[in-house]
Amino acid sequence: MTTIAAANRAIAKAGIPLELVRGEGYHYFIYDIPAENVFDTESVYVCYTNTYTAKEWVKEATYAMVTMMEAR
């Protein structure tokens, strides 16, 4: 069973500077760099953290990071 902590550990180990957070009925990634005035989020519309494995959350984080960088 995948937890938020396990997913965040896998994301950090992959070198992706995002934090996974659970909202009400969805999840989202946070990318904040206060020194550069950067505060971005990218939503993932799944209800349960264990919908994905930690490895799959890394893939979602990679996609979210690319999406955020393209928007800048």
Tens digit of each residue's pLDDT (9 = 90 or more) over 14-50: 999 999 999 999 999 999 988 888 899 999 999 999 9
DSSP string, the chain: ---HHHHHHHHHHTT---EEEE-SS-EEEEEEEGGGTEEEEEEE--S-GGGS-HHHHHHHHHHHHHHHHHH-
pLDDT band at residue 72 under the 50/70/90 scheme: confident
Instruction: Report all structural domains of the chain as residue ranges with CATH numbers, in order of start.
Output: 4-71 (3.30.160)
